[in-house]
Amino acid sequence: MSGNFLALAQPGVQQLSPYVPGKPVDELARELDLDPASIVKLASNENPLGASPKALAAIREALDELTRYPDGNGFALKSLLAEQCRVELNQVTLGNGSNDILELVARAYLAPGLNAVFSEHAFAVYPIATQAVGAQAKVVPAKDWGHDLPAMLAAIDANTRVVFIANPNNPTGTWFGAEALDEFLQDVPEHVLVVLDEAYIEYAEGSDLPDGLDFLAAYPNLLVSRTFSKAYGLAALRVGYGLSTPVVADVLNRVRQPFNVNSLALAAACAALKDEEYLTQSRQLNESGMQQLEAGFRELGLSWIPSKGNFICVDLGQVAAPVFQGLLREGVIVRPVANYGMPNHLRVTIGLPAENSRFLEALRKVLARG
């Protein structure tokens, strides 16, 4: 007789659903017999520019060393990050994407009987990382689709070890300012590690978003998490990093998998970090694309959640699932967010101008059909 291996899993794991990524282009092409080249994917917050030419050149140079293990300490990349982020080398932790940093925090600081606090409508990895190690997820109701920082502070108790906050937040794109962040950090108990997830922060330079790095020196219980998957255009290579005190970084490195960032990712990230022109182009394209989509929604009579990311959530005023399916039939992939408690919204990644136009045209058709 075979065992019930679902029932044998940790209770927190039993209650989870697997993370559902955006639908791949090839999968939609197979399902609906479409030409893959005709499909527009605006579902996964990927950079529509493609990777930096300098990053691609660095990858080609690194190919001859595929037989060798990568630098397990990531010295070159950590050195560049330390210089750019104004921290010491021993404050940097590298991850297989920033998701890896979140998982390392959970493995190091959470356990049965302990809890993590995060917001409603926040990144799906927060409950996954928390419940996978048997800890309790304390989900605080959102305010205007964003983080209610005072309510999150009130949710912290003696068993709280981690608070996850995202600025900007995914999937809503909402944000909070420097004063709100500072007030929050001042009142968080010293025994609680605050993980400030800044996966989209590069898109918000010069805006009213705070830079988490400005708060590291004052708050030893703060960890800033960032990624190369979004503005730097390296999503396929999975490379991210955390910045914290040396003590926290040392703890995370104790549970970090050996060689968790591959050689091609290390080389590409180093090159991308130096390519300021590419990053500027990414920001400019995102800003103009955001304006294009907002204008399109306004013309269609739709509302949306203002966003500081490279995506925007549009409110369809009706259950979004049928519209999502209709867009798929038009060869346009966006992201339904009902699993985030937002059944009437679709999250749309900012694409190239032609891709944005194609989406708006398809949306108009689907809505007109009713």
pLDDT at residue number 349: 98
Number of helices and strands (H, E) in the chain?
13, 13
d(CA 292, CA 275): 26
The proportion of the chain whose per-residue pLDDT surpasses 90, expressed as a percent, equals 87
Instruction: Name the burial class of residue 64, with classes exposed (0-12), middle (13-18) and buried (19+) by CB atoms within 10 angstroms of its CB.
Output: exposed
Q: How many residues does the chain have?
A: 370
pLDDT confidence tier of residue 1, bands split at 50, 70 and 90? very low
CA angle, 304 then 128 then 235, to 5°: 65
d(CA 109, CA 100): 14
Q: Decide: 279 and 90 in contact? Cβ < 8 Å.
A: no
pLDDT confidence tier of residue 2, bands split at 50, 70 and 90? low
The proportion of the chain whose per-residue pLDDT surpasses 70, expressed as a percent, equals 99
What residues have CB less than 8 Å from 277, skipping those under 6 apart? Answer: none
Q: Decide: 177 and 258 in contact? Cβ < 8 Å.
A: no
Mean pLDDT lowest for which of 13-17, 196-200, 317-321?
13-17
Mean pLDDT of 243-271: 96
pLDDT confidence tier of residue 14, bands split at 50, 70 and 90? confident
Helix (H, G, I), strand (E, B) or coil at 282: helix
d(CA 233, CA 49): 7
The 10s digit of each residue's pLDDT in 61-120 is 999 999 999 999 999 999 999 999 999 999 999 999 999 999 999 999 999 999 999 999
The 10s digit of each residue's pLDDT in 345-355 is 999 999 999 99
Dihedral sign for Cα 356, 359, 365, 368, please: negative
Give the CA diameter of the chain.
Answer: 62
The 10s digit of each residue's pLDDT in 305-364 is 999 999 999 999 999 999 999 999 999 999 999 999 999 999 999 999 999 999 999 999
